[in-house]
């Protein structure tokens, strides 16, 4: 938790940890203030055994204090950030960080990692001045460390730290663009598309042997799905908005039926029986995969009409592939029920009377079986 410094809250946190037989780290990064904090601890908790450690002590003294703390001779270790790394004390499962706004985000994450090294629940208290007096960067650091507290959240912490501090010229906006604004998946897709355009355009002679392999163009890189069907996660099923967004992202990253089955089981384990709207939502990925496999970059299912937008640009090698030849043959047999239009940079197919994902899948399977 993040709070303004409160002696009574400090005392309460320490008492709670000691009551279950544990030990406490109390981190304050100003050596000259440690005696005052030591006196405060003894004033509020006269029976607590408190040791002090900081970087201005001799190495032998620090080693002795740490070994005694590990042996259980002390209840509280009042120290600077020298405990940030290299320590594994399973019995210490509460850490108090004073003036947390003065630490970097990665430092706070490392310090928080000093506790919770076993199966016992751990607690981290971060004290700061009132948030309205902190700099915007400090507020973002504190908010990030409070928000990303789950196991394995290190990557989110790293991304936030990168966003707050910047990445310099080599990895920053000047060289790499604004990855955070786009999202990593979108950035990677744009980068892949740009590379493919260069390989098949300006540098086609250089990549001649590689481009002779038609397989790279058999399907679209991805397929965007737009629909007015009721296929959203109900708030009554997943109440937390952050969790809903995370689930949508997981669904977007699914690649095959096996992964979808595992995801569906894990979703049911976490939230219970799946409502019909959720089951309908989980029918979207297979439709998206099938569409991409025959060269559809965008699928719209709205108002009872299915619209398929095929690979762009119109002179893409895809249109000379066997995959497209099969699709074209199937479309010619279905000409009475669909409209084929050559747009400015791609081919579009419209089919009326398609009301459900199942009906859309039937048509996509028909096109792929040519």
Q: What is the pLDDT of residues 215-231, one digit of tens each?
A: 444 556 778 899 998 88
Distance CA(315)–CA(262), nearest Å, equals 39
- Binned at pLDDT 50, 70 and 90, residue 370 comes out as low
| Dihedral sign (CA 109, 112, 115, 116) | negative
* pLDDT higher at 337 or 76: 76
Do 97 and 107 contact (CB within 8 A), yes or no?
Answer: no
Whether residue 28 is predicted with pLDDT greater than 70 in this model: the reply is: yes
* pLDDT higher at 334 or 296: 296
Give me the number of domains the chain comprises. Answer: 3
Residue 113 lies in a domain: yes
In the predicted model, what is the mean pLDDT of residues 92-120? 88
- At 150 the pLDDT is 64
Residue 191 lies in a domain: yes
Beta-bridged to residue 226, according to DSSP, are 300
Alpha helices in 148-293 (DSSP H): 154-165, 168-171, 173-176, 179-182, 184-200, 208-211, 241-253, 257-271, 276-281, 284-293
* pLDDT higher at 361 or 219: 361
Distance CA(122)–CA(114), nearest Å, equals 10
Beta-bridged to residue 301, according to DSSP, are 227, 306
In the predicted model, what is the mean pLDDT of residues 272-279? 91
Whether residue 73 is predicted with pLDDT greater than 90 in this model: the reply is: yes
- Tell me, yes or no, whether 161 and 248 share the same domain: no
* pLDDT higher at 363 or 215: 363
In the predicted model, what is the mean pLDDT of residues 10-21? 95
Q: Return the top range by mean pLDDT from 78-82, 174-178, 222-226, 337-341.
A: 78-82
- Tell me, yes or no, whether 37 and 84 share the same domain: yes
Q: How far is CA 4 from CA 141, 155, 253, in A?
A: 15, 27, 40
- Tell me, yes or no, whether 189 and 235 share the same domain: no
CATH number of the domain residue 331 falls in: 3.90.1150.50
In the predicted model, what is the mean pLDDT of residues 17-28? 96
- Tell me, yes or no, whether 317 and 188 share the same domain: no
List, in sequence order, every beta strand (DSSP E) within the chain. 2-4, 23-27, 50-53, 76-79, 92-97, 123-128, 224-227, 296-302, 305-310, 338-342, 347-352
Distance CA(80)–CA(322), nearest Å, equals 67
Whether residue 160 is predicted with pLDDT greater than 70 in this model: the reply is: no
Q: How far is CA 326 from CA 295, 332, 334, 366, in A?
A: 11, 10, 13, 10
Residue 110 lies in a domain: yes
- Tell me, yes or no, whether 100 and 205 share the same domain: no
Distance CA(343)–CA(349), nearest Å, equals 10
Whether residue 119 is predicted with pLDDT greater than 70 in this model: the reply is: yes
Residue 286 lies in a domain: yes
Q: Return the top range by mean pLDDT from 22-31, 116-125, 135-144, 209-218.
A: 22-31
| Percent of the chain whose predicted confidence (pLDDT) is above 70 | 82
Distance CA(368)–CA(370), nearest Å, equals 6
Whether residue 305 is predicted with pLDDT greater than 80 in this model: the reply is: yes
- At 216 the pLDDT is 47
Residue 217 lies in a domain: no
Domain ranges, residue 202: 173-212
In the predicted model, what is the mean pLDDT of residues 8-23? 95
Q: Would you give the DSSP letter of residue 101?
A: G
In the predicted model, what is the mean pLDDT of residues 272-285? 92
The HSE-up count of residue 110 (CA atoms within 13 Å, CB side) is: 14
Q: How many CB atoms lie within 10 A of CB 360?
A: 24
- Tell me, yes or no, whether 133 and 204 share the same domain: no
| Percent of the chain whose predicted confidence (pLDDT) is above 90 | 43
Q: How does 275-313 read in b/e, with b if 16+ C-beta sit within 10 Å?
A: eeebebbbbbbbbbbbbbbbbbbbbbbeeeebbbbbbbe
Please choose, from the candidates 154, 139, 150, the residue with its C-alpha nearest in 3D space to the C-alpha of residue 109.
154
Residue 159 lies in a domain: yes
How many helices (H) does the chain have, and how many strands (E)?
A: 17, 11
In the predicted model, what is the mean pLDDT of residues 131-160? 76
Q: In what order do the strands lie in the sheet containing 76-79?
A: 2-4, 123-128, 92-97, 23-27, 76-79, 50-53
- At 214 the pLDDT is 45
- At 136 the pLDDT is 85
Whether residue 303 is predicted with pLDDT greater than 70 in this model: the reply is: yes
Arithmetic mean of pLDDT over the chain: 84
CATH number of the domain residue 17 falls in: 3.40.50.300
Residue 100 lies in a domain: yes
- At 333 the pLDDT is 85
pLDDT digits (tens, 9 = 90+) for 313-341: 767 777 778 888 888 888 888 888 789 88
């Amino acid at each position: 938790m993040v709070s303004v410094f409160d002696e009574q809250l400090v005392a309460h946190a320490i008492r709670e940890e000691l009551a279950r037989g544990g030990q406490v780290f109390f981190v304050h990064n100003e050596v000259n203030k440690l005696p005052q904090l030591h006196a405060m601890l003894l004033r509020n908790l006269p029976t607590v055994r408190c040791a002090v450690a900081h970087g201005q002590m001799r190495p032998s003294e620090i080693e002795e204090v740490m070994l005694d703390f590990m042996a259980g001779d002390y209840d509280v270790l009042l120290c600077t950030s020298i405990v940030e790394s290299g320590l594994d004390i399973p019995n210490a499962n509460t850490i108090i960080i004073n003036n947390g706004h003065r630490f970097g985000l990665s430092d706070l994450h490392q310090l928080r990692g000093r506790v919770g090294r076993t199966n016992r629940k751990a607690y981290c208290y971060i004290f700061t001045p009132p948030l309205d007096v902190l700099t915007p960067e400090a507020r973002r650091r504190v908010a990030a460390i409070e928000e990303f507290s789950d196991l394995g959240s290190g990557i989110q912490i790293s991304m936030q730290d990168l966003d707050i501090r910047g990445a310099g010229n080599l990895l920053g906006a000047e060289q790499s663009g604004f990855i955070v604004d786009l999202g990593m998946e979108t950035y990677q897709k744009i980068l892949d598309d740009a590379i493919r355009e260069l390989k098949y355009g300006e540098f086609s002679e250089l990549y001649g042997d590689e481009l002779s392999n038609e397989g790279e163009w058999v399907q679209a890189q991805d397929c965007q799905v737009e629909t007015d069907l009721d296929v959203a996660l109900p708030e009554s099923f997943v109440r937390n908005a952050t969790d809903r967004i995370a689930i949508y992202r997981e669904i977007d990253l699914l690649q095959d039926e096996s992964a979808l089955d595992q995801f569906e089981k894990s979703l049911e384990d976490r939230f219970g029986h799946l409502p019909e709207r959720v089951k309908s939502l989980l029918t979207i990925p297979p439709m998206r995969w099938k569409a991409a496999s025959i060269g559809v970059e965008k699928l719209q299912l709205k108002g009872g009409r299915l619209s398929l937008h095929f690979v762009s640009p119109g002179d893409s090698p895809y249109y000379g592939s066997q995959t497209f030849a099969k699709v074209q043959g199937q479309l010619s047999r279905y000409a009475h029920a669909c409209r084929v239009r050559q747009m400015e940079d791609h081919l579009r197919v419209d089919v009326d009377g398609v009301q459900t994902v199942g009906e859309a899948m039937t048509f996509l399977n028909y096109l792929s079986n040519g």
